[in-house]
Amino acid sequence: MRKIILICLFISLLIPSLIVSQVSSFSPWKRINAALLPIVASDTVGSSGTRITKAWLADLDSTTGTIGTLTISASSAGDITITKADPSVIFNVTTATDTDFWVGVQDDAGSDDDDTFQIGDGTTPGTNPFLTIDTSGNVGIRTTTPIARLDINLSTTSSVLGNTLDFIIGSNMTTANYHANLGFGRVATTSDKAPTVVSFQTINATGGTYGDLVFGTRSVTTSTTAPTERMRIDNAGKVFINDTSNINMAIGLTINQGANDDEIFSLKSSDVAHGMTAISETDTYASFAKDDGLIGGLRIRGITDAASGSVAPIQFIGISGGAADTGKTASDFANIMFSPQIKSGTGAAVVGADGNLLSIRNSTNNVVIFDAEGTIHQIPGSDTSFDMMTAQVTGTPTLGWNEAADQFTINKGLALTDSVVSNTIDAITVAAAATTFAVSSNVTKITGDVGLNTVSTITGGVSGQTLTLIFLDALVTISDTNDGGANTIDISAAFVSADDATLSLVFDGTVWREIGRAIN
């Protein structure tokens, strides 16, 4: 009996020692919340040669029994390593209807470097992934095969601008004039500035707010230099380049050239290669610029790379939606109009007397000027004869200036309102029993009717016109009516024609009066 008691006492002392040797090298264990834990925090569980096969941690508890945390101390030299196919960590919340998440690696066991790191929801790793990082460093949101550094797949689409959002910066901006910046380019330190930015600037911070889209760049390599605003699209739809406002514009484009005097707007085409690079780049076919570097004005230039016979360098086309205005008063309209004005206070007024309205130049020299009264001034450049006007019809009628004779020249007849005065010689055969005829030239040959004619009026005259009648027979008598009636004839005595006889008259607007007569 005594031996039995000694054996039991030995076993009771040995068993706790064996248990402690498997859990802790030095310290006994204690039970907290139904769990067996080492008393000393530095004790180990298992060893490099003897590892725990499985472990479930229902709670992370402190020695006081309250909820604690799993901590890897700063002095630890090791890491937490999960080695398995598709290693993942599952975050399974206690409330069944709340969202669970997982994070882990999805591998294809292909012995190659093409697996992905993903984050998704649920408790089954690999399903419903939200974020994917591939081995090239590409990040995909809602796509498992990102093809760019950041690839966002549209989970929902809409035909309405801004109806759904896939990326947003500055959702908490509630202060006016603050910027939400998206930078581009090299930024090496926290004091560096991005060389290029696209920014949203809050203009009105109340309610849902609104603002402008701003683009900025810098032209120096100093990394701490902030970019300068270059272009802005404001909240009303106006576009500004090197400017921020224009009170005279509701929607449109404003470009501020600053102190530069070159092209402010150019149009190019790869089809064009004019070669006039001293004027503009060879593929530029149109440009806008200041006419004078200091006082402004607009110069529009059109350039072609072919002769003007095949295409016009500049062409104005005005297409009316209906019939063109046919009025000829000062207030009527035309399909293409030029409206010169001069400054008047803060506005503009009409050009004064003799002011030049429009000029046409041959390169840098005026050849035609239209003035405020509508007078056309032709400028040949020197005292020389020149054609002032030529009609491109049969016979090429021309109005010109003869410098040597110091007079205008007309190689055809001159048409005046309601009548014709011509330097050509007309021929008239007076109708039977007719007492009148109409003239259309300053010199007219008259043939009478065999039944004789006595003429008392001549129509078609223009006030101040000198008329010479050349008679071809003795069949016409020009009577002296002398009553002051319209188109009547007041001569010294009745004139009886003869072959080659002439009668010269002048018209005062009412009556023909005799200048002279001759029987040749």
> Which pLDDT band holds residue 475 (cuts at 50, 70, 90)?
very high
Distance of alpha carbon 105 from alpha carbon 126, whole angstroms: 8
The string of pLDDT tens digits covering residues 372-400 is: 999 999 998 888 888 888 888 888 888 88
Among residues 156, 129, 157, the alpha carbon closest in space to that of 145 is found at 129
Amino acid 39: pLDDT = 53
Amino acid 145: pLDDT = 93
Amino acid 105: pLDDT = 95
Per-residue pLDDT at 14 exceeds 50? no
Measured between alpha carbons, how far is residue 132 from residues 12, 24, 119, 125, 280 in Å?
A: 57, 42, 7, 13, 51
> Which pLDDT band holds residue 308 (cuts at 50, 70, 90)?
low
Among residues 299, 252, 298, 259, the alpha carbon closest in space to that of 279 is found at 299
Distance of alpha carbon 209 from alpha carbon 161, whole angstroms: 17
418 CB neighbour count, 10 Å cutoff: 7
DSSP annotation of 67: B
Per-residue pLDDT at 70 exceeds 70? no
- Could you tell me the sign of the dihedral formed by the alpha carbons of 401, 402, 406, 411, in that order? negative
Lowest mean pLDDT among 35-39, 83-87, 325-329: 35-39
Q: What's the one-letter identity of residue 307?
A: A
Residues near 373 by Cβ (< 8 Å), separated by ≥ 6? 353, 354
Map tokens 């224009």 to a residue: 246
Phi-psi region of 406 (alpha: psi -120 to 50; beta: other; left: phi over 0): left
What are φ and ψ of residue 15, in 5° steps? -60, -50
Strands 488-490 and 511-518 come out as parallel
The string of pLDDT tens digits covering residues 401-413 is: 888 888 888 887 6
Mean pLDDT to the nearest integer, 421-425: 69
Amino acid 499: pLDDT = 95
Strands 425-429 and 453-455 come out as unpaired
Per-residue pLDDT at 29 exceeds 90? no
> Which pLDDT band holds residue 9 (cuts at 50, 70, 90)?
very low
DSSP annotation of 61: B
- Could you tell me the sign of the dihedral formed by the alpha carbons of 392, 393, 395, 401, in that order? negative
**401 forms bridges with which residues in the sheet?**
386, 408
Amino acid 310: pLDDT = 80
pTM above 0.85, yes or no: no
Amino acid 365: pLDDT = 93
Map tokens 């992905």 to a residue: 116
Indicate the average pLDDT of the chain.
Answer: 86
Map tokens 């993942």 to a residue: 88
Per-residue pLDDT at 485 exceeds 50? yes
Lowest mean pLDDT among 24-38, 116-130, 463-477: 24-38
Per-residue pLDDT at 59 exceeds 60? no
Contact (CB, 8 A) for 368 and 352: no
Amino acid 402: pLDDT = 86
Angle at 363 between CA 359 and CA 366, to 5 degrees: 30
Distance of alpha carbon 189 from alpha carbon 218, whole angstroms: 17
What are φ and ψ of residue 245, in 5° steps? -155, 155
Phi-psi region of 296 (alpha: psi -120 to 50; beta: other; left: phi over 0): left
DSSP annotation of 372: T
